[in-house]
Structure 1
């Protein structure tokens, strides 16, 4: 049943209702009335939501890495300084843009190009997946009905909120004793180390995602080049076929002309044969008459 619903939500929206009815009828025939009702309850996705579902189902490895990148970014985002945030934001925009183009390509190959507003909704959905754990969970289910809206800022999810570097969220110790100061400094140092580790993981995840997208784009370029070569070969074959068809048309015309000339020649031949036959009969009669006249004279 889950596989049936997964397949339904990768069906283009224009075909969704018809496909839903077909699957529901099949489930009912098989005796699964509950399954049939569940299928009929499925809502048709928007074009942007369908493209996001299609990306998740057809590119599972890329989608898994994208979800991992979102988790790493959410964990590290609140603990970073302005320069690092700017760098990660730029990486995030590049990853979202590249992945949304890949989804648009998949949609186009499925026969449904995405308009600019739909493309924007798709990018907003992917930004939401990176920033919001709830949105990430919805997309990971592969059955989005509507595009997702990204939050105004990253949500840390279950990760502990980190304080800005150089500060401590806990109240100051009641006593300025050296042991308490050392404990506080050790705790702060540990938190800083944890933030650095989160930052390193986020950077590694972002770099890995960009590298995978570069590899995918390179593979896509190879596929596009092969497609272009195939199109050129098809066009050449069509031109050759057109030339052959023209030669065939000319040959047929020449054949019809030759048949017409043959018919005329045959008619002329028959007429000539008739004339020859008449001449032969006249000559025969003349010869017979001459013989009779010769016998009478003797």
Structure 2
């Protein structure tokens, strides 16, 4: 009979198996990969076995980022949408707008990286400060770079990602603006008017993009607050369950003590019963001997009485 794990690997596609594999903690990754590859090979799925065997073990930070994506799909979708909005808005944001949006971005990245650390801890692995920084770096890269976002969206990161320098940085934006050539004073009025119109349109689009980015940021923050509320409720339930478990342990210990005492009393009663039965047998034997002696004495009296006649 085939094992259940083997049946599961045959029924599930290789893509789904790889998705689950990359949420396997790095210490168990290689063993799980070889197990799935062997099952695919035994099922004569040679191509699937080759793909699974080629999977590389992720770093701890990459694994935590993959775990975040799989465990919080709705929040991850919002985060990817926020990244798209930020990258579009960045093309035309002024320094003040970039500074404000950058602060919102830092809060969301920090909150999501903490959630990733919580998920990793629940899976049995505490993230060090350096690994936590790598997770934050990966999330910043997802916001800043489309290729990084696409890579994280696969859920199969192998290494932490690094964001490009200068993204959502007021200083970088100001510096890049200062390097732009000054408008020539000899520009014809029609060109200046057209330029003003184009600038006004860019500002309008920029404002719409900024409003959209802010809305996405607020939605993401609200989602995080909701998740933390759910987490707090779960922690409270866990604490109450632990209390009930402790009380049950005490009750079990008391019952076990009573059971031990009952066993001791039973053993003592068995011994007393054995002693009583032994004394009863001895008494019965003595009684039988006494009855025999009485019978013999009565016979002797009868015999002697017959001689006297």
Aligned-pair CA distance for 1:144: 0.6
Question: Is the 1:71–1:130 contact (alpha carbons within 8 Å) kept by the matching residues of 2?
Answer: yes
Q: Structure 2: how far apart are the matches of 1:227 and 1:269?
A: 61
Residue in 2 that maps onto 1:112: 125
Aligned-pair CA distance for 1:192: 1.6
Question: Is the 2:101–2:168 contact (alpha carbons within 8 Å) kept by the matching residues of 1?
Answer: no
Mapping of 1:43-192 within 5 angstroms?
Answer: 43-77=56-90, 79-154=92-167, 171-172=183-184, 174-177=186-189, 179-192=190-203
Q: Deviations over 1:180-209 (max 9, x none)?
A: 433232222212212211211111111110
Matched, 1:211 2:237: no
Q: Structure 2: how far apart are the matches of 1:205 and 1:215?
A: 15
Question: Is the 2:61–2:160 contact (alpha carbons within 8 Å) kept by the matching residues of 1?
Answer: yes
Question: Is the 1:92–1:206 contact (alpha carbons within 8 Å) kept by the matching residues of 2?
Answer: yes
Q: Structure 2: how far apart are the matches of 1:42 and 1:170?
A: 53
Q: Which shows bigger deviation, 23-32 or 133-142?
A: 23-32
Q: Structure 2: how far apart are the matches of 1:35 and 1:287?
A: 106
Residue in 1 that maps onto 2:10: none
Q: Structure 2: how far apart are the matches of 1:53 and 1:140?
A: 9
Structure 2: any 5+ residue segments left out of the alignment?
A: 1-13
Question: Is the 1:49–1:146 contact (alpha carbons within 8 Å) kept by the matching residues of 2?
Answer: yes
Q: Structure 1: how far apart are the matches of 2:97 and 2:38?
A: 55
Q: Structure 2: how far apart are the matches of 1:28 and 1:123?
A: 38
Aligned-pair CA distance for 1:57: 1.8
Residue in 1 that maps onto 2:281: 270
SS in 2 for 1:45: coil
Aligned-pair CA distance for 1:146: 0.8
Aligned-pair CA distance for 1:38: 2.3
Superposition TM-score, scaled by structure 2 size = 0.84
Superposition TM-score, scaled by structure 1 size = 0.87
SS in 2 for 1:11: coil
Residue in 2 that maps onto 1:290: 301
SS in 2 for 1:225: helix
Closer/same/farther in 2, CA of residues 184 and 80 from structure 1, 3 Å limit: closer
Residue in 2 that maps onto 1:240: 251
Q: Structure 1: how far apart are the matches of 2:201 and 2:185?
A: 18
Aligned-pair CA distance for 1:117: 2.6
SS in 2 for 1:143: coil
Q: Structure 2: how far apart are the matches of 1:110 and 1:127?
A: 24
Question: Is the 1:79–1:163 contact (alpha carbons within 8 Å) kept by the matching residues of 2?
Answer: no
Residue in 2 that maps onto 1:18: 31
Aligned-pair CA distance for 1:155: 7.3
